[in-house]
């Protein structure tokens, strides 16, 4: 499946992009600001990045994406979002995509709260990893014991930093 992510350079949407790519999807995306470290992290995984939300992106695709995943940074009035709506193109929110495509049927450990979510999510992921459970995860930062902020495998456990969900 060809997935195009609007707001791809945020920590949550960048994690969604990485997970979608690990699942074998063709992934590209756009954001108002495309710069390191997120841009280099995504490009290293073969994810194409486009700076800005120009509606002209739609005419530049060799083949139209099968699905647009919309980050919460994108709202009505955004030129690309309006074009997607006006043309009746298939779209879904990042949290809904995560729930339907990744979390469904798994044991989810969601870390919520005001402070310490990234640290707690990283610690929980490491505890599970250290004990042989090899969890999937989506964390708002790169944990010290791992090289990426999001990992998808066949694990029945998934740790997520429950943030940025509208």
Give the pLDDT confidence of 114-163 residue by residue, as tens digits. Answer: 899 999 999 999 999 999 999 999 998 888 888 889 999 999 999 999 97
For 109, which DSSP code?
Answer: E
Question: Which residue ranges does the chain devote to CATH 3.40.50.720?
Answer: 2-98
Answer for the pair 90, 67: CB distance below 8 angstroms, yes or no: yes
Give the pLDDT confidence of 17-69 residue by residue, as tens digits. Answer: 999 999 999 999 999 999 888 899 999 999 999 999 998 889 888 899 999 99
Q: Sheet of 157-161: strands edge to edge? A: 107-111, 157-161, 136-138, 150-151
Answer for the pair 161, 138: CB distance below 8 angstroms, yes or no: yes
Q: Is the pTM of this model over 0.75?
A: yes
What homologous superfamily is domain 2-98 in, according to CATH? NAD(P)-binding Rossmann-like Domain (3.40.50.720)
């Amino acid at each position: 499946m060809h997935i195009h992510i609007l707001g791809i350079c945020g920590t949550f949407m960048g994690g969604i992009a990485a997970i979608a790519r690990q699942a074998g999807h063709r992934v590209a995306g756009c954001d108002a600001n495309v710069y390191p470290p997120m841009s280099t992290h995504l490009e290293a995984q073969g994810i194409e990045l486009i700076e800005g939300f120009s509606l002209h992106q739609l005419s530049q695709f060799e083949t139209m994406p099968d699905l647009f995943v919309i980050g919460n940074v994108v709202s009505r009035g955004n030129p690309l979002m309006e074009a997607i709506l006006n043309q009746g193109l298939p779209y879904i929110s990042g949290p809904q995509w995560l729930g339907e495509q990744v979390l469904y049927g798994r044991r989810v450990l969601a870390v919520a709260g005001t402070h310490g979510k990234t640290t707690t999510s990283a610690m929980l992921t490491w505890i599970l990893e250290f004990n042989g459970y090899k969890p999937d995860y989506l964390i708002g930062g790169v944990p010290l014991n791992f090289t990426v902020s999001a990992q998808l495998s066949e694990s029945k456990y998934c740790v997520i930093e429950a943030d940025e969900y509208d």
